[in-house]
Amino acid sequence: MADEIPVFPKASTLLIHTGNIVNWDRLKHKPNHTPTEELSECISATLSTHLKAADKNALQYVTLLDCVNFKFKETLPSEEREDLKLTVKLFLCSLQPADTIEEAIQRVLTELNVTFIETVLIAFPEFEDDDINLEIVKPYWKILEDFVHREVVLSVGISDLDKNQLEELYNWSEIKPVINQVNLASCCVMPKDLVTYAKENDIQLLTHNDPRNILPVKSLQDVIAQNSTEKDSENWEPLWALRYSVLVKCRGIIKTKGYIMKGSKDIKKRK
């Protein structure tokens, strides 16, 4: 008998929390995953688990599809918190309202049951002119600064700024970036002017291999189609995705790693 196609709700919002993926067997067997492939795999597994376990009748009336992989969900024990370092990288899939940052950070705090995050990094999507300018960054950075003032976030950083962009942000901001991530796929050698400027201003340069658009629209729609039907996948788009990682300070190993993602469906396009 063919597998029954899961009921997919007429939801307009999708939230995914993968839980801790460090020990996922399905990922261990695919060590060369790109970040996009890994995220898509994690979304698919979490969505599939939720749809199969959900009450089919109730599912039809859900408007917010909130999928948490409870089998792998872990909170951070308060008695171990001082020995752990939590880092969050927030990927904006498009230029959402600036309070998107607040929503995403609050979600991490709730899901992991913590009161603060050591470091939050923000990554902007790729624009047509491939230019991240200060006016785009400002409203988002202001919200990050507010989190720092409230001691909910201890330090902040950003991805993919060149020397001039980083200097503009540094000079304008009240809370200075402590990290700038550089994708070596776009520059095989760290630019000398960027290295010099970062050193002079105590900014750590870290390399990464995350694409600017970590979750393309098609990737999300493909995942939904794989777990329901092609029709169900139409008009969905990712709003933001974040990756959190928890490092055991004294041992330098990753204890926890997971993803949280939010997507929406444009109901105006429904037929």
pLDDT tens, N- to C-terminus, the chain (271 residues):
345 666 677 889 999 999 999 988 766 666 668 999 999 999 999 999 998 888 877 777 788 999 999 899 999 999 999 999 999 999 999 888 888 999 999 999 999 999 999 999 999 998 776 678 899 999 999 999 999 999 999 999 999 999 999 999 999 999 999 999 998 776 667 889 999 999 999 999 999 999 989 999 999 999 999 998 888 898 999 999 999 999 998 888 899 999 999 999 975 554 4
Is residue 210, in this structure, part of any structural domain at all? yes
**How far is the CA of 153 from the CAs of 56, 67, 202, 267, in angstroms?**
40, 26, 19, 35
Query: Which pTM does this prediction carry?
Result: 0.92
8 Å CB contact between 221 and 263: no
pLDDT of residue 53: 86
Q: 192-200 and 163-172 are packed helices; what angle lies between their axes, rounded to 10 degrees?
A: 20
Q: How many domains does the chain contain in total?
A: 1
The angle at the Cα of 122, spanning 26 to 236, to the nearest 5 degrees, equals 60
In a domain, 182, yes or no: yes
pLDDT of residue 2: 46
Q: What is the pLDDT of residue 270?
A: 46
Among candidates 262, 186, 271, which has minimal Cα distance to 234? 271
Asked if the structure places residue 187 within a domain, the reply is: yes
pLDDT value of residue 156: 98
Q: Is there a domain that residue 2 lies in?
A: no
Residue 5 lies in a domain: no
Q: Give the integer Cα–Cα distance in Å for 66 and 17.
A: 8
- Is the residue at 80 inside a domain? yes
Cα distances from 201 to residues 132, 135, 163, 205, in angstroms, run 20, 22, 12, 11
Q: How far is CA 53 from CA 47, 64, 67, 188, 221, in A?
A: 10, 16, 11, 46, 21
Residue 261 domain flag? yes
Does some domain include residue 88?
A: yes
Residue 101 belongs to domain spanning: 13-269
The phi and psi torsions of 162 (rounded to 5 degrees) equal -85, -175
Res 56: pLDDT? 79
Q: Provide the token pair at 267.
A: 């109901």
